[in-house]
């Protein structure tokens, strides 16, 4: 096999090197300590920022801290770069394996026995992604065979090859029975049908040339995909990838990104991290928040693995991850929708070739990448179409919110991803009532204020002003300017209060902590009002809609006073984030 080494260096690009003989392997010694305890403390410090850190005992009772092993040229490169960056002492030097005795770091390793050169540290260059380029076979015209010769060559096929032949006939539309490798009446009939369709004598036994032609047809869908075996040393994964449409882009732990290189919007993500079952289950939840995993599609989680299939109008993604020996590894394939045959064939080869190697991706891999609250290790987090606020009105978790939060939604969720459905709405008033699909137990529920608060009294609206970025509602204070709308609407009240779009749908409290209404969105078009003019749908109108739905909200007609801290606690327990998803 011819090997193509693709490496990105931090400072320079080095030429690919052949395998180094054992006697040519060297180490970069960066420090030595007179006792084991001190050496262990120092080696932990180095391991936090450098790759390939090792520790060995030395003759005379000293303990060496080294990087490697490397080929000589790579070691010199590592030494020069890390010295220049001040990451290792200036008196560091190249040493040979004969200088060392037993290895004490990493615990359980024996690099002196393995004596295999490693790639220079990531601070010097990124880990090598190694691609095995298949040798292109010579085109040989196979001789055709007599029926007797065809039977003899067929008899030499393994069971797996016979099953693959049935799969190819099934794909071609000539076979619809079990894939079992047994060539019975159905398989023979399908062979005859294929032979007739392509101008061959219908003998019911495919010659070697005919089998090759069927395989060519079967594999034509993969032309241009350039399925190649990739060895990703940083991720510790070997597998076939469609290198004709993707290429290695970057590491952002725990992901290795292989991004699209042409017109096909494909993507492959290798997943690699140390962890346990709790880590695996956490990853299962996190992956479902990403744009590359659409909401629709089957999900399956087992004790030591999970699978996610996401389907949308534009893409299909397949994620499979498993836990073994403290290492969580897997991959995601993202492929455009409508190209299902090719996607399944590529996925099959990826699954069949997936192999774990001993290494697991460092948590620091890709740590220099730009960070954003909208990204998780370089992958875009799925965002709702609209985020608004709402509030609980009964002990089972019924929510009142703005009509804005429920329009043109494929699904509606409350905070923590609880799905909800519309129980009722009043378009004229701009209010909707949601029922969670899973019963909730709110800490607080609204007490609707039926009495009229005093003009110019203090009010506050609770809401997710920034669409849930802060993770908790905020209180915005203002005053009650009028008990009616600008045109005299009796169901409205006007506030002097500057609110944000995320606050819309949230509860508006009077000075005593009762809910006097729901914050409405600013009117679209028409007159441009001052920023501090806001409107509230009154509690009586909300109570009327709830009564129509058979619900009896808690209400009061007592005007009271509440300490700001108590009001904050009450608002936090009652206010809920409402997300509308496309």
**What long-range pairs does 39-45 form, CB within 8 A, spacing at least 24?**
39/63, 39/64, 39/65, 39/104, 39/105, 40/104, 40/105, 43/105
Taking the C-alpha atoms of residue 117 and residue 322, their distance in angstroms, rounded to an integer, is: 29
User: Are the C-beta atoms of 288 and 299 separated by less than 8 Å?
Assistant: yes
| 1 or 552, which is more confident | 552
Mean pLDDT of 348-367: 88
So what's the pLDDT on residue 368? 53
So what's the pLDDT on residue 311? 92
Domains and CATH numbers, the chain: 2-128 (no CATH), 147-222 (1.10.101), 227-380 (3.40.1000), 384-582 (2.40.10.120)
Taking the C-alpha atoms of residue 143 and residue 209, their distance in angstroms, rounded to an integer, is: 7
CA dihedral 546, 548, 551, 552 (to 10 degrees): 80
Taking the C-alpha atoms of residue 530 and residue 82, their distance in angstroms, rounded to an integer, is: 59
So what's the pLDDT on residue 296? 87
Residue holding tokens 């007797």?
A: 148
Output the pTM of the full model: 0.54
So what's the pLDDT on residue 394? 95
In this predicted structure, the answer to whether residue 128 has a pLDDT above a threshold of 60 is no
Question: Tens digits of per-residue pLDDT, 497-517?
Answer: 999 999 999 999 999 999 999
Kindly give, in sequence order, each residue whose CB lies less than 8 Å from that of residue 320, ignoring residues fewer than 6 positions away.
305, 306, 307, 308, 330, 331, 351
So what's the pLDDT on residue 375? 43
Question: Tens digits of per-residue pLDDT, 533-557?
Answer: 999 999 999 999 999 999 999 999 9
Taking the C-alpha atoms of residue 288 and residue 489, their distance in angstroms, rounded to an integer, is: 45
Element (H, E) at 505: none
Q: What percent of the chain has pLDDT over 90?
A: 57
So what's the pLDDT on residue 60? 64
So what's the pLDDT on residue 5? 31
Q: Report which of 487, 490, 552, 540 is spatially closest to residue 515, judged by C-alpha positions.
A: 540
Q: Report which of 509, 514, 489 is spatially closest to residue 429, judged by C-alpha positions.
A: 489
Helix, strand or coil, per DSSP, at residue 554: strand
Taking the C-alpha atoms of residue 122 and residue 145, their distance in angstroms, rounded to an integer, is: 57
Which of 128-137, 281-290, 322-331, 484-493 shows the lowest per-residue confidence on average (mean pLDDT)? 128-137
So what's the pLDDT on residue 24? 62
Question: Tens digits of per-residue pLDDT, 259-316?
Answer: 999 889 999 999 999 999 999 998 998 888 888 998 889 999 999 999 999 998 899 9
Question: Tens digits of per-residue pLDDT, 148-199?
Answer: 999 999 999 999 999 999 999 998 899 999 999 999 999 999 999 999 998 9
| 15 or 424, which is more confident | 424
CA dihedral 5, 8, 9, 14 (to 10 degrees): 30
User: Are the C-beta atoms of 580 and 386 separated by less than 8 Å?
Assistant: yes
| 311 or 96, which is more confident | 311
In this predicted structure, the answer to whether residue 423 has a pLDDT above a threshold of 90 is yes
């Amino acid at each position: 096999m011819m090997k193509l080494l693709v490496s990105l260096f931090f400072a320079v690009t080095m030429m690919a090197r052949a395998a180094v003989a054992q006697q040519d392997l060297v180490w970069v010694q960066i420090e030595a300590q007179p006792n084991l305890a001190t050496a262990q403390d120092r080696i932990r410090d180095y391991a936090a920022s450098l790759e390939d850190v090792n520790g060995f005992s030395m003759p005379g009772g000293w303990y060496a801290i080294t990087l490697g092993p490397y080929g000589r040229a790579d070691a010199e490169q590592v030494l020069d770069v890390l010295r220049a960056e001040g990451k290792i002492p200036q008196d560091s030097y190249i040493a040979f394996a004969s200088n060392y005795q037993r290895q004490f770091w990493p615990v359980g390793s024996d690099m002196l026995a393995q004596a295999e050169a490693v790639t220079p540290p990531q601070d010097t260059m990124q880990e090598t992604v190694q691609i095995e380029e298949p040798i292109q076979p010579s085109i040989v015209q196979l001789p055709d065979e007599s029926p007797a010769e065809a039977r003899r060559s067929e008899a030499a096929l393994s069971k797996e090859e016979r099953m693959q032949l049935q799969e190819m006939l099934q794909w071609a539309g000539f076979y619809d029975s079990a894939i079992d490798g047994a060539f019975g009446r159905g398989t023979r009939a399908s062979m005859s049908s294929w032979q007739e369709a392509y101008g061959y004598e219908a003998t019911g036994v495919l010659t070697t040339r005919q089998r090759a032609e069927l395989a060519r047809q079967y594999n034509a869908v993969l032309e241009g995909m350039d399925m190649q075996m990739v060895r990703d040393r940083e991720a510790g994964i070997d597998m076939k990838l469609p290198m004709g449409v993707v290429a290695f882009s970057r590491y952002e732990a725990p992901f290795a990104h292989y991004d699209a290189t042409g017109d096909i919007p494909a993507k492959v993500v290798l997943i690699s991290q140390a962890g346990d079952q709790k880590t695996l289950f956490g990853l299962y939840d996190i992956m479902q928040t990403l744009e590359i995993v659409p909401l629709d599609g089957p999900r399956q989680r087992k004790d030591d693995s999970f699978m996610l299939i996401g389907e949308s109008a534009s893409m299909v993604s397949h994620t499979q991850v498993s836990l073994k020996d403290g290492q969580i590894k897997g991959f995601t394939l993202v492929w455009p929708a409508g190209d299902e045959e090719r996607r399944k064939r590529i996925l099959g080869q990826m699954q069949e070739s997936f192999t774990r190697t001993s290494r697991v991706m460092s948590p620091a891999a890709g740590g220099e990448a730009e960070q954003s609250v909208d990204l998780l290790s370089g992958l875009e987090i799925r965002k709702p179409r609209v985020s608004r606020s709402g509030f609980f009105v009964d002990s089972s978790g019924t929510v009142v919110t703005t009509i804005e939060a429920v329009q043109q939604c494929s699904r509606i969720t409350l905070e923590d991803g609880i799905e909800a459905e519309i129980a009722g709405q009043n378009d004229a008033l701009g209010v909707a009532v949601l029922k969670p699909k899973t019963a909730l137990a709110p800490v607080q529920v609204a007490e609707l204020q039926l009495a009229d608060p005093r003009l110019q009294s203090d009010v506050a609206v609770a809401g997710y002003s920034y669409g849930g970025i802060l993770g908790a509602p905020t209180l915005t204070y203002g005053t009650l300017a009028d008990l009616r709308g600008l045109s005299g609407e009796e169901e409205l009240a006007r506030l002097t209060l500057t609110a944000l779009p995320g606050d819309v749908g949230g509860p508006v409290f009077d000075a005593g902590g009762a809910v006097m209404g729901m914050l409405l969105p600013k009117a679209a078009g028409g007159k441009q009002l001052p920023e501090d003019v806001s409107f509230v749908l009154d509690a009586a109108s909300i109570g009327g809609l709830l009564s129509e739905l058979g619900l009896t909200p808690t209400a009061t007609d007592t005007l009271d006073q509440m300490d700001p801290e108590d009001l904050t606690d009450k608002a936090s327990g009652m206010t809920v984030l409402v997300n509308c998803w496309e």
